[in-house]
Structure formats: structure tokens, C-alpha cells
Amino acid sequence: MSLKQTPLYPMHLKYHGKMIEFEGWELPVQYEGMGIIKEHQMVRENAGLFDVSHMGEILITGEKAEAFVQKLICNDVKIMQDGQVLYSPMCYPNGGVVDDLLVYRYNLQKYLLVVNAANVDKDLAWMKENLLEGVKAENVSPEYAQLALQGPKAQDILQTLTDTDLNSLKFFWFNPAVKIAGVECLVSRTGYTGEDGFEIYVQPAEAVFIWEELMRTGGEQLCPVGLGARDSLRFEAKLPLYGQELDQDITPLETGLGFFVKLNTDDFIGKAALVQQKEAGLTRKLVEFSMLGKGIPRSHYEVQKNGVAIGQVTSGMHSPTFKKSIGLALIKIEHSEPGTEIEIIIRDKAVKAMVGTGIFYGKKTKSK
């Protein structure tokens, strides 16, 4: 199967992206002359521009659109207003996670769901299986290119190109008709880096133009950022990644997303299982840890306590900001107290680590 290319593929060639395969897409892991660490630092200190067109968009329309979205997700849809964005896991009946997604509410009859690239087909099949009468779920991904502009300088850069006052666009809100350099875009104050910033949805034919306008305006304060730094930035900010912190065998409660699970709402798929899990008490929990010994923890490495397996690493990395190796692990709850010594199995060797708290990056997003 040949790899899919995003509408911004010509930009990856122009800016010398090192192209790799990612979930069926040909995307840059990093750019020549920069690299993951420099790109990461640019986003923390200035701004970075990401091609995230591989993300999936599913449009939900119809009289009962609100009820249908509520049936799908753990978070409370009814607290939303038009123009608001909501993050939520979407569960199976057993509480395992189908996907995590962003819900954009246009109005009570129209929602746009933004899902992970790898899960578009699975999510759409799941939605159609559970569809309510009079509601339509369609994959509109090909109608959108998506750019993420992230970092402390993101607002200044974007403001130069639009008359819309960006101060009025609050964290987790969107405006479906922002003119950027004259082109109508959907802009939300959202992101996956722990920094302030925007996600920009635009018709594919205009994507290159918008990218180049942003690059020209950003000048030395902006650089293209590849998938490598996208992962290191989201990891440092402790933002979950489907397939690592979340999957069909992990519930949102176990992985520390209880805040996004509203058990006092109308029924949603998985609610009964999550209520039961909460009442019975969790048996495992997602924890932060720092390495005490030498080595880098990686996803799926085993975690032990005194030689006995107690769970696994979900994500781990040498943090570009803190310049040390840290990780997230899903482990048995009796070992989850901060200060507990655990062992990470790195290439058959047990390396000491310590459960901690507050060791990740404090998000700089503009609070609600």
C-alpha cells in the first residue's frame, strides 16, 4: 500500500523534512538542520508549526446529535456551548478506550469530532454501529488540512495575519470563520504541546498558502516541527497518547483521566463498567517516575518491584527540557505512592527508578 501524503507534503520537501511512515502517512519526523531537541526548544521558547493533517475529522449532524455524542463519550456534552471544544475519551462497554478525541460544538445539531489518525476507520465503524436514528456520522477528513501553531509566540504570529481579536478566543474555544491572510479557517485555541497555541483547519487547497504565510510572518521565531518533537512535547506535558497511555485494555480512570469522566451525566457507553470500577477501587494507576540508574525508559518496558512484575512503562524519554530520563508507567496501585522505588527492565537489566509527582512540565496553556 502506498503512503498517503498530506496537502502540506510539498512544504516538508521544501523545508527538508526527514520523511517517515506514520500510520499510513508519509510525514516528517524532524527537519534537516534542526532535529528533535532544537524543534522542541523552539516550541517551548518561541513557536513551532506542525502539519497535523493526518488527524481524522468526523462530522456528526442531525436532530439528536447531542444525545448521540453523549452516548459515545465519557465527558459531559451538555455543559458545552456553541463554539466550545471538549476533550474526552470514548469507551467500549467494558470501559476500555476506543479513542480519545476533541469535540467541537457548532450547535446542538452539528458537532465535529477530531480523532487520531490511526483510529479513523475504527472510530467511524464504532459510531455507525451505535448510531441513533436521524443522526449522520461522516468521515470528512479529506475536506481538512490541519496545522498546529504552538508556543508562547503563537498568538503574536497569528494575530499579524488576522483581524479577529485572538484575545477573545479562550482556551478550548473555536471560531469557525477566522480569516487568515484572507482565507477562511476554523481556529481553536487547543494543542498537544503544553504551550499556548492554536489548531487551524483549512481546506486542503489553501494549506500551503497558510503554512507559508505563517512561516513568513514568524520569521526567526517560528520553525517547522516534526513528529519527533510532537511526541516529546506532548510527553513532557503529560498529555496521553492513544496506544501508550490509552488503549482498549486501559480505562480512563486507571490512566489518570478521571477528570474527563463524568459519571453523573446521562448514560454513555462504558459508564456502568466505570461506575463499577470506581466503586470497587482501582487496582492499577498511571504514575510519574524518574530514573535513578542509567538508562532510558521506553514504551512497553516492564516495571518490577523487588523482581516481581507490577506493570509497564506507557511512555518514557530523555526529556529535552529537564535533560534527564523520566517516564509514565501503569502499575499496581499498591506501589504508586510517590517515593516508592521501582525497577525498569531495560534490555534484561533492572534499573532503579522512583515514583514521583510534579516531575513533568507545567502546562503554559491559557486557563479557562
Partner 1 sequence: MHTPENLFYSKEHEWVRVEGNKGYIGISDFAQHQLGDIVFVELPELDLEINLGESIGVIESVKAAATLFSPVPGTIIEVNEDLEEAPELLNQDPYHNWIAVLDLSDSSRLEGLMSAEAYNAYCQTLES
Q: Which residues bind partner 1 (CB under 8 A)?
A: 18, 29-30, 35-37, 228, 231-232, 294-296, 298, 317-318, 320, 325, 347
Sign of the CA dihedral 82, 263, 67, 184?
positive
3-state DSSP assignment of residue 188: strand
Minimum distance between the CB of residue 318 and partner 1, rounded to whole angstroms?
A: 4
What sections of 169-270 are H helices per DSSP? Answer: 207-218, 227-236
Minimum distance between the CB of residue 98 and partner 1, rounded to whole angstroms?
A: 27
Q: Which residues pair with 57 in a beta bridge?
A: 114
Minimum distance between the CB of residue 9 and partner 1, rounded to whole angstroms?
A: 19
> In whole angstroms, how far apart are CA 193 and each of 199, 205, 230?
11, 27, 7
Nearer to partner 1, 224 or 270 (CB): 224
Nearer to partner 1, 96 or 295 (CB): 295
The shares of helix, strand and coil residues in the chain, as percent rounded to the nearest 5, are 25, 35, 35
Q: Rounded CA gap, 318 and 326, in Å?
A: 6
> Which three cell numbers mark 230?
510532537
Nearer to partner 1, 40 or 238 (CB): 40
Q: Which residues pair with 62 in a beta bridge?
A: 135
Nearer to partner 1, 18 or 234 (CB): 18
Beta carbons within 10 angstroms of residue 330's beta carbon: 22
Minimum distance between the CB of residue 30 and partner 1, rounded to whole angstroms?
A: 6
The answer to whether 353 and 297 have CB atoms below 8 angstroms apart is yes
Q: Rounded CA gap, 343 and 359, in Å?
A: 18
Nearer to partner 1, 109 or 321 (CB): 321
Q: Is 70 left (phi over 0), alpha (psi -120 to 50) or beta?
A: alpha
DSSP string across 26-93: EEEEEETTT-HHHHHHHHHHSEEEEE-TTSEEEEEEETTHHHHHHHHBSS-GGG--TTBEEEEEEE-T
Minimum distance between the CB of residue 329 and partner 1, rounded to whole angstroms?
A: 18
Nearer to partner 1, 151 or 297 (CB): 297
Sign of the CA dihedral 116, 119, 120, 122?
negative
Nearer to partner 1, 270 or 320 (CB): 320
Minimum distance between the CB of residue 33 and partner 1, rounded to whole angstroms?
A: 11
Minimum distance between the CB of residue 313 and partner 1, rounded to whole angstroms?
A: 13
Nearer to partner 1, 206 or 343 (CB): 343
Rg (CA), the chain: 21
Minimum distance between the CB of residue 88 and partner 1, rounded to whole angstroms?
A: 29
Nearer to partner 1, 118 or 131 (CB): 118
Minimum distance between the CB of residue 304 and partner 1, rounded to whole angstroms?
A: 19
